[in-house]
């Protein structure tokens, strides 16, 4: 047997060093380096074997689109890019308790109902706990085969016997354990080695593998970012535990688009799909309150209307607070500076609180106009018109810039009964005419001063 090999691995970025250090040289994190002992080198012991010849082929040739098996949960299938691809590996990440096990048990049950063979390996919960959840979800009668196991060698030996499985779920990868590595489950070394073995099996077999991964408090997948490179798709399941909405977001997908989202609602009996998220996100909106504006946003290919709320409070201390939920704090700072410098809206003695209602996270710069409208509305204590949606990016000189997919946004607004939209000014030349849905009035806003003028009382308009 080979002499044990010791090395040091950063638990945050996976960098390997020969010496222990307090700070990782690669990612700069402190106290993340841990010793790792390999019982022997992986692979065949003894002399390195001579390599086999790799065959190279030309670029022309048939590349069939990968076959897909729709799971039967449209919100999930959309995020997957149409369904599960055989021999592919999907990583589903999310905070503990957000609903990953619930989603995957429901997905497994849907697939099992179509007659496919589905294996569910739970390393976190006992058989009894999973059965309880299955009962709650009403899926106890499906043909899912369940095992409680954490030893990857045992799992692999069992999977090699079951050639006809369509889906294998490993819940979660942080609980898996491989005996050739001496660190504890959940460490980078274990997570990486276990994933590697399981992924290798999936690639040679014909089943889809789903790995569940927990997310640490700073938002990265516990342990290795390395894992994200090893899998074909990474989906994040996010949401605020205080809200019932859950959003499944693709951050990487070798077989589909990465900006798609699926929207779910956590109910007493599991996750329910939300085919019309706009209606849900606007459900609790109260009209006629200053500081609220509706943003016509886009998540992937899908328009989503959300309410933006701003609250301003006087703070004479000279160091006002800026607090943001659901949007980028840096971008809020920029917008406040533009409002102040270009439109004269003073904010230096005002605390600004900004919230995207419903727990959604908005990443689009197109939200600028809606956010500026909410802030201006709060600053002058004048409500935005209740039937209006806003979208447009704001540049540093205060100009309102074009954004993609204006038509889809307008259509969604019309569908939900809005009667007007504030949007960037159409370019005079070259731009094709915007087809506005019937009954929707378009109000073009060329500059942030035009926006502020809608809220500011007459006397301050020119001063
Ligand atoms: P779970 O799927 O166990 O989360 P994860 O695997 O991501 O850790 O879901 C946990 C939460 O969901 C738990 O707080 C209870 C809640 N829940 C419901 O509200 N309804 C349900 O039908 C189920 C199964 C769970
Ligand atoms: Mg779980």
> In CATH, what number is assigned to the domain containing residue 233?
3.40.50.300
Query: Is residue 193 assigned to a domain?
Result: yes
Question: CA 42 to CA 426: how far, in whole Å?
Answer: 62
Tally the residues of the chain: 463
Query: Is residue 397 assigned to a domain?
Result: yes
Ligand 1: residue whose CA is nearest its atom 12: 99
Tally of domains within the chain: 3
Q: Which CATH number goes with the domain that contains 389?
A: 3.30.230.10
Q: How far, in whole angstroms, is CA 354 from its chain's centroid? A: 21
Q: Do 443 and 298 share a domain, yes or no? A: yes
* Burial (CB count <10 Å: 0-12, 13-18, 19+), residue 102: buried
Ligand 1: residue whose CA is nearest its atom 9: 99
Q: Do 112 and 245 share a domain, yes or no? A: yes
136 lines ligand 1 (CB under 6 A): yes
Q: Which of 18, 12, 42 is nearest to 152 (CA)?
A: 42
Q: How many CB atoms lie within 10 A of CB 159?
A: 19
**pLDDT score at 21:** 87
Q: Do 449 and 339 share a domain, yes or no? A: yes
The domain containing residue 200 runs over which residues? 74-275
Query: Is residue 125 assigned to a domain?
Result: yes
Query: Is residue 162 assigned to a domain?
Result: yes
**pLDDT score at 65:** 66
Report CA torsion sign: 194, 196, 198, 199. Answer: positive
Write down which residue in 244, 275, 306 finishes a domain.
275
Estimate the crossing angle of helix 368-379 against helix 329-343, to 10 degrees.
60
Ligand 1: residue whose CA is nearest its atom 23: 270
First-to-final CA distance of the chain: 84
Write down which residue in 221, 250, 275 finishes a domain.
275
Query: Is residue 393 assigned to a domain?
Result: yes
Q: Do 28 and 85 share a domain, yes or no? A: no
| C-alpha distance from residue 60 to each of 4, 57, 63, 104, 172 (Å) | 47, 9, 9, 38, 40
CA of residue 130 to ligand 2 center, whole Å:
9
The count of C-alpha atoms lying within 13 angstroms of the C-alpha of 50, restricted to the half-sphere facing its C-beta, is 1
Q: Do 244 and 388 share a domain, yes or no? A: no
CA of residue 205 to ligand 2 center, whole Å:
26
Q: Do 106 and 233 share a domain, yes or no? A: yes
- The two tokens of residue 246 are 């859950």
The tens-digit pLDDT sequence of the chain (463 residues) is 556 678 888 877 778 888 888 888 888 888 888 887 765 554 444 456 678 888 888 888 776 767 888 999 999 999 999 999 999 999 999 888 999 999 999 999 999 999 999 999 999 999 999 999 999 999 999 999 999 999 999 999 999 988 899 999 999 899 999 999 888 888 888 888 999 999 999 999 889 999 999 876 555 555 546 688 899 999 989 887 777 889 898 889 998 877 788 999 999 999 999 888 888 788 778 878 899 999 999 987 788 999 999 999 999 988 999 999 999 999 999 999 999 999 999 998 999 999 998 778 898 999 999 999 999 999 999 999 989 999 999 999 999 999 988 999 999 999 889 999 999 987 544 456 677 888 899 999 999 999 999 999 875 544 4
CA of residue 15 to ligand 2 center, whole Å:
28
**pLDDT score at 45:** 47
Write down which residue in 250, 275, 300 finishes a domain.
275
Q: Do 367 and 318 share a domain, yes or no? A: yes
* Contact present, 411 and 437 (Cβ < 8 Å): yes
Q: Do 441 and 314 share a domain, yes or no? A: yes
Q: Do 407 and 422 share a domain, yes or no? A: yes
Index of the ligand 1 atom closest to the CA of residue 125: 3
Q: Do 246 and 307 share a domain, yes or no? A: no
**pLDDT score at 447:** 96
**pLDDT score at 216:** 65
CA of residue 123 to ligand 2 center, whole Å:
9
CA of residue 265 to ligand 2 center, whole Å:
17
409 lines ligand 1 (CB under 6 A): no
**pLDDT score at 345:** 94
106 lines ligand 1 (CB under 6 A): no
Question: CA 81 to CA 262: how far, in whole Å?
Answer: 11
Q: Do 197 and 326 share a domain, yes or no? A: no
* Contact present, 171 and 153 (Cβ < 8 Å): no
Question: CA 146 to CA 386: how far, in whole Å?
Answer: 51
């Amino acid at each position: 047997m080979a002499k044990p090999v010791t090395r040091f691995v950063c638990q945050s970025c996976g960098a390997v060093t020969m010496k222990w250090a307090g700070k990782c040289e690669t990612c700069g994190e402190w106290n993340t380096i841990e010793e790792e002992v390999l019982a022997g080198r992986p692979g065949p012991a003894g002399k390195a074997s001579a390599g086999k010849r790799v065959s190279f082929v030309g670029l022309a040739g048939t590349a069939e689109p990968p076959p897909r098996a729709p799971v039967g949960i449209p919100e999930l299938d959309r995020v997957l890019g149409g369904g599960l691809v055989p021999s592919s590996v999907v990583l589903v990440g999310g905070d503990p308790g957000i609903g990953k096990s619930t989603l995957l048990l429901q997905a497994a049950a849907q697939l099992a109902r179509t007659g496919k063979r589905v294996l569910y390996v739970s390393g976190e919960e006992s058989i009894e706990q999973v059965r309880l959840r299955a009962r709650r979800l009403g899926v106890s009668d499906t043909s899912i085969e369940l095992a409680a196991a954490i030893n990857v060698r045992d799992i692999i030996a069992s999977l090699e016997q079951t050639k006809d499985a369509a889906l294998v779920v490993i819940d979660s990868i942080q609980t898996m354990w491989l005996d050739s590595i001496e660190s504890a489950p959940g460490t980078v070394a274990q997570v990486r080695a276990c994933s590697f073995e399981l992924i290798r099996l999936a690639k040679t077999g014909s089943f889809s593998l789903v790995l569940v991964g927990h997310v640490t408090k700073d938002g990265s997948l516990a342990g290795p970012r390395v894992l994200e490179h090893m899998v074909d798709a990474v989906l994040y399941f996010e949401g605020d535990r205080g809200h019932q909405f859950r959003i499944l977001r693709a951050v990487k997908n070798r077989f589909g688009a990465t900006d798609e989202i699926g929207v779910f609602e956590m109910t007493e009996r599991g996750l329910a799909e939300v085919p019309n998220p706009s209606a849900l996100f606007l459900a609790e909106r109260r009209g006629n309150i200053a500081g609220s504006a509706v943003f016509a946003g886009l998540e992937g290919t899908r328009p989503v209307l959300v309410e933006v709320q701003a609250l301003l409070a006087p703070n004479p201390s000279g160091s006002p607070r800026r607090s943001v939920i659901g949007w980028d704090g840096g971008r809020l700072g920029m917008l406040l500076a533009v409002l102040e410098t270009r439109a004269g809206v003073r904010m230096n003695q005002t605390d600004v609180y900004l919230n995207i209602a419903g727990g959604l996270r908005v990443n689009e710069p197109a939200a600028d106009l809606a956010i500026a409208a909410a802030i201006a509305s709060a600053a002058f204590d004048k409500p935005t018109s209740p039937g209006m949606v806003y979208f447009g990016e704001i540049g540093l000189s205060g100009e309102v810039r074009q954004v993609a997919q204006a038509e889809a946004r307008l259509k969604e607004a019309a569908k939900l009964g809005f009667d007007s939209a504030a949007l960037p000014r159409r370019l005079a030349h070259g731009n094709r005419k915007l087809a506005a849905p019937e009954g929707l009035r378009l109000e073009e806003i060329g500059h942030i001063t035009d926006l502020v003028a809608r809220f500011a009382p007459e006397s301050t308009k020119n001063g």
